[in-house]
Amino acid sequence: MVLLGDLVPGKLGIFVDVMIVFHSVAFVYWAVTAVTEIYSHPARDPNMKAH
Protein backbone atom coordinates (compact mmCIF):
# COMPACT_ATOMS: atom_id res chain seq x y z
CA MET A 1 0.00 0.00 0.00
CA VAL A 2 1.49 3.31 -1.12
CA LEU A 3 0.43 6.28 0.98
CA LEU A 4 -0.06 9.65 -0.64
CA GLY A 5 2.44 11.09 1.81
CA ASP A 6 5.23 9.06 0.15
CA LEU A 7 4.89 11.37 -2.86
CA VAL A 8 5.36 14.47 -0.69
CA PRO A 9 8.84 15.20 0.71
CA GLY A 10 9.71 15.90 4.32
CA LYS A 11 7.46 16.55 7.29
CA LEU A 12 4.51 17.53 5.08
CA GLY A 13 4.41 13.96 3.80
CA ILE A 14 4.20 12.63 7.33
CA PHE A 15 1.37 15.06 8.05
CA VAL A 16 -0.51 13.89 4.94
CA ASP A 17 -0.10 10.24 6.01
CA VAL A 18 -1.39 11.05 9.49
CA MET A 19 -4.42 12.88 8.11
CA ILE A 20 -5.28 9.98 5.77
CA VAL A 21 -5.01 7.45 8.59
CA PHE A 22 -6.98 9.68 10.97
CA HIS A 23 -9.85 10.12 8.51
CA SER A 24 -9.90 6.39 7.75
CA VAL A 25 -10.12 5.55 11.47
CA ALA A 26 -12.74 8.25 12.05
CA PHE A 27 -14.89 6.92 9.19
CA VAL A 28 -14.68 3.33 10.45
CA TYR A 29 -15.56 4.48 13.98
CA TRP A 30 -18.54 6.46 12.64
CA ALA A 31 -19.76 3.52 10.55
CA VAL A 32 -19.51 1.08 13.49
CA THR A 33 -21.29 3.54 15.78
CA ALA A 34 -24.09 4.08 13.25
CA VAL A 35 -24.64 0.34 12.72
CA THR A 36 -24.53 -0.28 16.49
CA GLU A 37 -27.15 2.43 17.04
CA ILE A 38 -29.43 0.91 14.39
CA TYR A 39 -29.23 -2.60 15.81
CA SER A 40 -29.38 -1.58 19.48
CA HIS A 41 -32.68 0.29 18.88
CA PRO A 42 -35.06 -2.06 17.05
CA ALA A 43 -38.00 -0.73 15.04
CA ARG A 44 -40.47 -1.90 17.73
CA ASP A 45 -38.85 0.54 20.17
CA PRO A 46 -41.46 3.28 20.80
CA ASN A 47 -38.70 5.92 20.82
CA MET A 48 -38.03 5.24 17.14
CA LYS A 49 -41.42 6.64 16.09
CA ALA A 50 -40.21 10.17 16.80
CA HIS A 51 -37.51 9.94 14.13
Spatial separation of the C-alpha atoms in residues 9 and 1, rounded to whole Å: 18
- Domains: count for the chain: 1
Residue 22 is predicted with a pLDDT of 94
pLDDT at 49 exceeding the cut of 80: no
Angle 7-9-13 from CA coordinates, rounded to 5°: 70
> 20 in a domain, yes or no?
yes
Domain range for 16:
1-36
The answer as to whether 11 is a domain residue is yes
Q: Is 14 helix (H, G, I), strand (E, B) or coil?
A: helix
Predicted pLDDT of residue 46: 59
Residue 32 has a pLDDT of 94
- Report the Cα 9 to chain-centroid distance in Å: 27
Q: Is the pLDDT of residue 48 over 60?
A: no
Kindly state whether residue 48 falls inside one of the protein's structural domains.
no
Q: pLDDT tens across 9-45, in order?
A: 678 878 888 899 999 999 999 999 999 988 887 666 5
Alpha helices in 1-51 (DSSP H): 10-40
Give the pLDDT of residue 31: 94
**In this structure, is residue 13 part of a structural domain?**
yes
